[in-house]
Structure 1
Amino acid sequence: MDKNLFLQNESSIFNIKELGDERGALTVIESMNNIPFDIKRVFYIYGTASGIRRGFHAHHKTRQVLISVAGKCKVHLDNTKRKKEVELDSPTKALILEPNDWHEMYDFSPDCVLLVLASELYQAEDYIRNYDKFLEVYSV
């Protein structure tokens, strides 16, 4: 595990070690080991129809890790200093989202299951759902 993942304030991609043998593959996710925070909430997105975009928000404090455990999707990231697109297409590829990442997920394959690990419990006030408000909060 790259210990710098614990200190970053910009999104990054990292690989989760794959274990296994002739019986199949296995990956392990552990708080504060290969995930750079204590995991307080887990959810997954699936059954997203073609052409639908999801997300459209940032956070005040929640960090997240996104992993496409089946299928694939793309993620648009914007932290006011850079915009980039990331494709999640492997259960061993993980994307860390920092609170200052406005994110939108799209181009879901029909079989996509996007696992999300969050550093905080759900709190509506942690979400920034208006892009202009996001720019106010994170533009310097």
Structure 2
Amino acid sequence: MRRSIEECRLIDLPKFSDPRGSLSFVQKGEHLPFDIQRVYYLYDAPDDVSRGLHAHKELEQLIIAISGSFTITINDGNAKKKIRLTRPDQGLYMCPRIWRELTEFSSDAVCLVLASHPYDPDDYIFDIEEL
């Protein structure tokens, strides 16, 4: 089934700030259209590398710039859009069958990914023509 980049969207997360700092959270059933089954994060990525370069058959994700910033280019095979993530209280919801490429990492970037399924190598699409 062909998906559209229009199904991907920015999700604002709660943010509470006071003189001690800020706190944001993701709570089951409130902020995501899926249950979290896996959490991983990317860090120490040089600014001249590309990460991702794949899509998923079934996996849904929320991608958050916990620290620093990076750019995600999403592509559904028909349309393409660049999104710059810069805030730890906002994430990009990624539906299945959308190609992603992460680039332009700031030196302090930490990319947190909340995923709907455990790791499954058979869920990956490495050829954009297969979308």
TM-score scaled by structure 2? 0.92
C-alpha RMSD of the superposition? 1.4
What CA deviation, in whole Å up to 9, does each residue of 1:82-132 have, x standing for no partner? 210000001011100111210000000010000000000000000001222
Match of 1:20 in 2: 17
* Cα separation, 2, equivalents of 1:103 and 1:25: 29
State how many pairs are aligned.
127
Secondary structure, counterpart of 2:11 in structure 1: strand
* Cα separation, 1, equivalents of 2:30 and 2:8: 18
Picking from 95, 103, 127, the partner of 1:130 is 127
| Equivalent residues of 2:77, 2:128 under 8 A apart | no
Match of 2:28 in 1: 31
- Show structure 1 runs of 5+ residues with no match: 1-7
Output the amino acid matched with 2:55: A
* Cα separation, 2, equivalents of 1:12 and 1:112: 21
Cα displacement (A) at 1:9: 7.4
Picking from 39, 42, 46, the partner of 1:42 is 39
Output the amino acid matched with 1:127: Y
- Structure 1: which 4+ aligned runs deviate by more than 3 Å? none
Which deviates more, 123-132 or 59-68?
123-132
What CA deviation, in whole Å up to 9, does each residue of 1:47-95 have, x standing for no partner? 0012000000001100000000000000000012321000000101110
Picking from 53, 56, 68, the partner of 1:59 is 56
| Equivalent residues of 2:12, 2:91 under 8 A apart | yes
- Show structure 2 runs of 5+ residues with no match: none
TM-score scaled by structure 1? 0.86
